[in-house]
């Protein structure tokens, strides 16, 4: 898909936001849902997804929503670092298929990095164990509430 086009309300993240598809939720507020990536590149890989917006990518997001979204990305990254103690953290966001975007609803990846563990391929790796994701989500959630 190109950078421009019509928003498809049947994308998986839109379904998750409407409660029509399951996810392993980390936390949510009125503007954002954070959930675990089911094809994680490493343990603790979270997705920060804005609600109530038909934005396929960052270029479609109204400017007045940027501060709120990236404030929540920072909050999530801090909780991931506190909960999982990685050696680093990647914060990334893809715009268009040639850039690596596979779900066309704006989302930001928070990916912990561990020095001696390679990253799994983006969206081509192995589906995660749901119990492991739930455990990671609980640890991150607890760090957010601390």
Burial class (CB in 10 A: 0-12, 13-18, 19+), 114: middle
122 labelled catalytic: no
CB atoms within 10 A of CB 46: 28
**69 closest CA partner among 112, 38, 103, 107:** 107
Q: Are 89 and 80 in contact (CB under 8 A)?
A: yes
Which element (helix H / strand E) includes 112?
Answer: strand 108-113
Give 34's Cβ-side CA count (13 Å radius): 29
Of 45, 107, 109, 122, catalytic: 107
The closest of 11, 90, 100, 25 to 55, measured between CA atoms, is 11
Report the catalytic residues.
107
């Amino acid at each position: 898909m190109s950078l421009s086009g019509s928003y498809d309300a049947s994308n998986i993240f839109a379904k998750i936001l409407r409660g029509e598809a399951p996810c392993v939720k980390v936390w949510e507020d009125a503007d954002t849902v954070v959930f675990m990536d089911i094809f994680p590149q490493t343990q603790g890989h979270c997705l920060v997804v804005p609600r109530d917006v038909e934005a396929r990518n960052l270029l479609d997001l109204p400017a007045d929503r940027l501060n709120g979204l990236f404030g929540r990305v920072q909050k999530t990254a801090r909780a991931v670092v506190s909960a999982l103690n990685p050696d680093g953290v990647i914060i990334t966001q893809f715009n268009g298929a040639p850039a690596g975007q596979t779900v066309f609803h704006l989302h930001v990846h928070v990916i912990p990095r561990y020095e001696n563990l390679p990253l799994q391929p983006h969206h081509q790796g192995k589906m995660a164990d749901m119990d492991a994701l739930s455990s990671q989500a609980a640890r991150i959630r607890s760090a957010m509430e601390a």
